[in-house]
Amino acid sequence: MPARSDITYFGAGPAALPTDVLQTASQALVDFQGTGLGIAEHSHRSAIATKILEEAKADLASYLDVPEDYEILFMQAGGTGEFSATIYNLVGAWVTRKQQEAEKAGADEAKVQADLKKQVDEQLKLDYVVTGGWSLKAYQEACRLLGPEHVNLVADARTINDGKFGKIPEESTWQLSQDPAMVYYCDNETVDGVEFPKFPEALAPKADGTGPIVVADMSSNILSRRIPIKNFSLIFFGAQKNLGSTGITVVIVKKSLLPPVCPQPSPTLLRQLGLPIGPIVLSYEIIAKNNSLYNTLSIFDVYIAGLVLKKLLASFPDKVDGQEAVANKKAKLIYEALESQPDAYRIVPAPGNRSRMNICFRVIKVNPPFFCVIQLRQIIGDLIRGIGR
């Protein structure tokens, strides 16, 4: 049987975890800090669980420099669950905003409701930038839940690349809605190897601080580079790529989208407006109110994520900037190796859109030169073992 140190792992996710993190976690699974119980056996409402949760939130906020006007939520259902959660919550926030505007104008209750119904029917839009398989699924979920009449396809990368993903359309071609409930994009497309090189200028906030409500799925490149968090209203990511093990999802959301500033509409009002009502476990309002412990959260998975964050903070005094330098170095070496043999390998995404996390390429010779295969295998193996995660 091979030892763990003998394995070079290429899985896109769940990704390999640091061995020392797994060793610590395995001991905690049997007996956590001398309590006689494993961490998975302790109540998620215990003081032990609360401490683990609070430390993980604090370390994540420190590592990414999350501003104080953002809330960090630990949830379940993965990134796919967030395709739905963002719709339920941000459509609700849009309705609340329109309702507050109408009430400020002095309209009575009946007129407010009539105006809301008219605005929902005529103005409610969710914007999606589709650049790969995951953003396509998010777009399709919005169409399923709300109906295609409420969903705007800002850009479809397949239209500029012979029906395939691999390029991000020029922002000058994007067709953004007027006052959408949100604008969604996937920062890194795992399957298609496409990553946004930076925050899209078309979505940047204006000089007065106003701008679109931007939502980003960062499931596969979170913790790998500095994020201009202030430009986003909401970021979500599954833990299993760069943060920890499968089972928890993290949401970083602006507090202005939560009570008391922005309470969710009542289920009665949503029914009257013909809008879907989301399950309570996907309600950011409920999860935030209960400190991520409304239902039974997997504290063991939060503990693993916390161990990874502590290791990152200890490894990189400059926090995420240090990890970003490592990620850039690894990607540069692999892409250079692929580019050096154009007759053997074809890199899938366009040069300006190449992911640093998921390097997608095709072998275009049935029998590429043996030294090409050995060179690429050695570089990737050395990177994984030597440079780190």
**Structure confidence at residue 321 (pLDDT):** 97
Residue 389: per-residue pLDDT: 42
pTM of the model: 0.93
The SS3 assignment for 301 reads helix
Rounded to a whole number, what is the largest CA-CA distance in the chain? 77
Note whether 134 and 192 are within 8 A (CB).
Answer: no
The structural domains of the chain, with segments of one domain joined by +, span 1-389
Using an 8 Å Cβ cutoff, are 388 and 316 in contact? no
Q: Which residues of the chain register pLDDT less than 50?
A: 387-389
In Å, how far from its chain's centre is CA 213?
15
Helix axis angle, 19-30 to 299-315, nearest 10°: 140
67 CB contacts (<8 Å, ≥6 apart)? 229, 230
> What residues form DSSP beta bridges with 234?
215, 253
C-alpha 385: how far from its chain's center? 26
C-alpha–C-alpha distance, residues 377 and 345, integer Å:
13
Pick the CATH number of 1-389 from 3.50.50.60, 1.10.1760.20, 3.40.640.10, 1.10.10.10: 3.40.640.10
pLDDT in tens, 141-183: 999 999 999 999 999 999 999 999 999 999 999 999 999 999 9
Rounded to a whole number, what is the distance in angstroms from the first to the last CA of the chain?
24
